[in-house]
Structure 1
Amino acid sequence: GVVVRDMDTFGTDMLSAVQRTARTTPSDGLSEFSDNLASVLGSGRSVSDFLREQYERFQSRAEAQQTQYIELLATFAEVYVTVLVAGPLFLVTILAVIGLVLADTLTLVRLVVYVGLPLATVAFAVYVDGMTTSLQGPTDGGSADAATDSFGETDPHGAGDLSGDATA
């Protein structure tokens, strides 16, 4: 990409091209990665070891995020079954039994079945969509807020920064 273009077109050395990318990219994650890579290149540390560490770091973060996302979806599924499947079945059964004693529960059953359930299902779908979309972050390729970036990092304090290790 940009580093190769700087090297080929402008004759820039690899270290300067990576440092320029770190300074000019709008992505916090790419900037951090480029800074760390520049430190590794400047110190003579093994680039393959650095890239392996970065891969493992991003892989473990992705796995943790996916696990969290799956658990959230499982919770939503349990809520849906409880509130919008078992609950209405129980309610309709109760109203049918009450209908044997009282005269006019059919209107309430129709209201629940034809209005209440569809509205609750649509509201639940909109809520789940909003929650899952906010967890996925931006899809336009731009940098996100301080909580997430294009590498999917959620640590705004940079606890996983490797720049201190590069000088060792």
Structure 2
Amino acid sequence: MTNSYFVYAYSLFGKHFKQRKDKYYNLRMDLLKNRMNLGYDMYLSGALLTAILSTVLILLLFNLILFIFGVPDLPGSRLMIPAWMGWLVPYKLLIIQFFGSLLTIAFCMAVIYKTFVFYPSIMASNRKRNIEQILPYAINYMTAMSGAGVLPVELFRSLALNKIYGEVSTEARYLVRDMEVLGKDLVTAMKNLAQTTPSPMMQEFLQGAITVVTSGGELEPYFKIKTEQYIVENRQRQKEFLETLGLLGETYVTAFVAGPLFLIIVISIMSIMGGAQTVFLYLLIYAIVPIGSIMFLVVISTLTPEE
């Protein structure tokens, strides 16, 4: 169903994006690193069609809300409307519909389309983090296999079939595909994988393995050295993550627990005394605190390594 959708979108907009191949080089690389198996022109065609359909639905919803609830009848002085514009007041519904529709179209089209454009980069970053999290243990597995006398080709094939190693197994499957389907040798397949993997750590590991294979050396000692190196680096990253998490926790308590409570008390007292408007209190409770909490959840979720 998804492929059919992108194929249909490509039939509508494919020619437009196909003529701009150089412009979308970074997107093409992100799609490769994310293993999405979609051409950049087909992917962008689907993004544009989705943006158009979503914008139409949101525009209909916007006008439906105006039709049902109308426009609030606010005094002109509150809106700071000049007297010479008073003749426009009877047409305020049409004016809001027109300009609101234009803003809705521009905003929704830009946000939805740009979200699609940046999505592969975000997912590639997630894959990078997941690969580097599990790579030391995958190399340890390869060390044991190599010590048992398993040939390098069979070693990567075994890793590709072992799904317990997550994204590392996915990368290995693409290496095996290059050898078995495309007929490439092991060194060429490793070079291709090193160029398209989102993880600099895995790229460095593969380049070292290429050097060992081409020079006729043994892979087992190399795997042992890399396992010890990456485990030490992984522990260091985990330590840094815990320190960052502690700092974020202190920031959250200060900015969105203690700070808002203090402001709520101050604004409430000033409101009772007639020195402040309750709109600031509503804004703090229903907008700033929830949005800030959601932003912290997104940041922590982004920084947290996958198991």
Question: Under a length normalisation based on structure 1, what TM-score does the superposition of the two structures give?
Answer: 0.54
Instruction: Provide, for residues 94-114 of structure 1, a one-character-per-residue CA deviation record: whole Å limited to 9, x for no partner.
Output: 456657xx6326854x742x4
Aligned length: 130
Structure 2: where are the runs of 5+ without partners?
Answer: 1-172
**Structure 2 residue 296 is the aligned partner of structure 1 residue 128:** yes
Structure 2 match to 1:54: 226
How far apart are the structure 2 equivalents of 1:67 and 1:60? Answer: 11
| Amino acid in the other structure paired with 2:211 | S
How far has the Cα of 1:55 moved from its partner? 1.5
How far has the Cα of 1:51 moved from its partner? 0.6
Indicate the percent of aligned positions where both proteins have the same amino acid.
21
Counterpart contact for 1:21–1:34, Cα < 8 Å = no
Question: Under a length normalisation based on structure 2, what TM-score does the superposition of the two structures give?
Answer: 0.33
| Amino acid in the other structure paired with 1:116 | L
Structure 2 match to 1:24: 192
Structure 1 match to 2:205: 33
Structure 1 match to 2:114: none
Which range is displaced more, 126-135 or 32-41? 126-135
Task: Give the secondary structure class of the aligned counterpart of 2:273.
Answer: coil
Structure 2 match to 1:89: 261
Counting helix residues as a fraction of each chain, which structure ranks higher?
2
How far apart are the structure 2 equivalents of 1:79 and 1:50? Answer: 43
**Cα distance 1:131–1:41, how it changes in 2: closer, same or farther (>3 A)?**
same
Structure 1 match to 2:274: 104
How far has the Cα of 1:2 moved from its partner? 5.6
Counterpart contact for 1:22–1:34, Cα < 8 Å = yes
| Amino acid in the other structure paired with 1:128 | F
- The higher-RCO structure (CA 8 Å, 6+ apart) is 1
How far has the Cα of 1:57 moved from its partner? 2.3
**Cα distance 1:46–1:111, how it changes in 2: closer, same or farther (>3 A)?**
same
Instruction: Provide, for residues 17-72 of structure 1, a one-character-per-residue CA deviation record: whole Å limited to 9, x for no partner.
Output: 1x112322212644432331132234454422211121222223332333323222
